[in-house]
Amino acid sequence: MRPFALETANDRSAALRFGRDTGGAEAHITAPTQYLAGGTQLFDLMKLDVMQPRTLVNINGLEREFGAIEAAADGLRLGALARMSEAADHPVIRRDYPVISDALWQAASPQLRNMASLAGNVLQRTRCNYFRDRKWAGCNKRNPGSGCAAIEGVNRRLAVLGVSRHCIANYPGDFANALVALGAEVMIVNPDGDTRTMPFEDLHRLPDDTPHIETNLVPGDLITGFTVPSGPWTRRSLYLKIRDRTSYDFALASAAVALDLGPDGTVRTARIGIGGMVAKPWRSREAEDALAGRVLDEASAADAAEAAFAGAVTHSQTDFKPELGRRTLVRALLDAGRMEIDDV
C-alpha cells in the first residue's frame, strides 16, 4: 500500500473543503482525495494498488447529519452513512420494502454489513480479475486505451448486459439493483456546497468507450442519501440472488422485483432490476412492459424474461448467463406473485 494522509471531517463544510483537491482527475474514482466511511472496499483496492489516493477523508463524523433512516407516507429516506446492517434490519424496510432488506442481507458478511455505509456500497467496483490484478496491462477500466483482456480471457463472472467492445466488467452489488428497480433518487452535494438530485439509474455509466469513468459523480462530490418513493408495489417485492455458494459470494444472476397485482393476478405495475451480469445497476423496462396488463403466470413471466435478455452479448464463458438470468427472473416474479401481503 502506498503512503497516504488521513484527515478527519466532523461536518459537511470540512469534508467538502478536503474534497476540492481533485488533482485534475477526470473521474471521481481517480481523484487524489477520497472519502472514507466503512472503507471495506477502498482499503482492499489500495492494497492491490488499483486505487492510489494521496489523502483519505474520514467522514464518519457526518453520520448524525447523513446517517438517518426515515420512513414517511411518501417514501423512504436513507442516509448515505447509514450502515448496511442497520437498513437491512429496519422494521419498516423489512415490512414495506422487503426487496431492499433482502438485497442487503444477502450481501457480504455480517462484519462487512456492520462496517459498510450505504453510499459506499453502491459505489463498489467490479470484481473482474483483470481490473484487480495490476500484472495484467489490458484493462481499459484501470488503464484507459490498454484493451480488455477479459474479452478473450477468464470472463465467467462478467457482464452480458450493457457491455461494450472496450469493457465487459460486471457491477457486483446487490443493494443498487433494488434501488434502481424501485425508481430511487440519489442526493449529492458538490465541493461548492451546491446540492442536486438525480435518478439513481443515472448515477452509474455504461462503459461505452470510457469504462474508466464509472459514474456521473465529479471529483469532490459527496453522496448524502437516497430517497425511495412509496407505491403499491413496494410491499410485494423481493430480491433473488443466485451464486456459486450461498454463504458469501457475489451473484452470478440476480433479480430485484416489485409488483402491484390486481385481484385476479393482473400486473398493474412491475418494477424489475437485473444483477450479477450487468455493466451497471440495470432496470429492465422491456421486461416490465412485457408484463403490464397480463396475468402473472409462467407464460407471462417467461415473456418478460425473454425481453429482459434480448440484448445480451456473450463472450465464451458467459454463454450460459442469459439462460440463467431468464430462469432467475421467472422464479423471482412467480415467488413475488405468491407473497402474502398483510394489510397495514
As a whole number of angstroms, the distance between CA 190 and CA 16 comes to 7
As a whole number of angstroms, the distance between CA 331 and CA 338 comes to 11
Per-residue model confidence (pLDDT) at position 344: 56
Query: Which residue has 401481503 as its cell numbers?
Result: 341
Per-residue pLDDT of the chain (344 residues; tens, 9 = 90+): 899 999 999 999 999 999 999 999 999 999 999 999 999 999 999 999 999 999 999 999 999 999 999 999 999 999 999 999 999 999 999 999 999 999 999 998 999 999 999 999 999 999 999 999 999 999 999 999 999 999 999 999 999 999 999 999 999 999 999 999 999 999 999 999 999 999 999 999 999 999 999 999 999 999 999 999 999 999 999 999 999 998 789 999 999 999 999 999 999 999 999 999 999 999 999 999 999 999 999 999 999 999 999 999 999 999 999 999 999 999 999 999 999 887 65
Angle (nearest 5°) at CA 248 between 223 and 272: 55
Q: Which CATH superfamily is domain 237-337 in?
A: CO dehydrogenase flavoprotein, C-terminal domain (3.30.390.50)
Q: Show Cβ contacts of residue 69 under 8 Å, excluding neighbours closer than 6 positions.
A: 76, 77, 78, 79, 82, 86, 87, 90, 93
Amino acid at 154: V
Query: Which of 139, 123, 122, 121 is CA-nearest to residue 131?
Result: 139
Percent composition of the chain: helix, strand, coil (DSSP 3-state, to 5): 30, 20, 45
Q: Using an 8 Å Cβ cutoff, are 233 and 259 in contact?
A: yes
| Buried-exposed string 270-307: b where 16+ CB fall within 10 A, e elsewhere | bbbbbbbbbbbbbbbeebbebbeebebeeebbbebbbb
Quick one: cell of 258?
A: 416489485
- Using N-to-C axis directions, what is the helix angle for 321-337 and 298-308, rounded to 10°? 140
As a whole number of angstroms, the distance between CA 293 and CA 46 comes to 49
Look at strands 222-229 and 75-79 and give their pairing.
Answer: antiparallel
Q: Using an 8 Å Cβ cutoff, are 71 and 85 in contact?
A: no
Per-residue model confidence (pLDDT) at position 343: 63
Q: Show Cβ contacts of residue 331 under 8 Å, excluding neighbours closer than 6 positions.
A: 240, 255
Q: Show Cβ contacts of residue 154 under 8 Å, excluding neighbours closer than 6 positions.
A: 129, 317
Cα torsion through 150, 125, 235, 296, rounded to 10: -10
DSSP category for residue 27: S
- Burial tier of 146 (Cβ tally within 10 Å: 0-12, 13-18, 19+): middle
- Burial tier of 8 (Cβ tally within 10 Å: 0-12, 13-18, 19+): middle
What φ, ψ does residue 265 adopt, rounded to 5°?
A: 85, 5
- Residue-range domain boundaries for the chain: 237-337
DSSP category for residue 171: P
Amino acid at 60: N
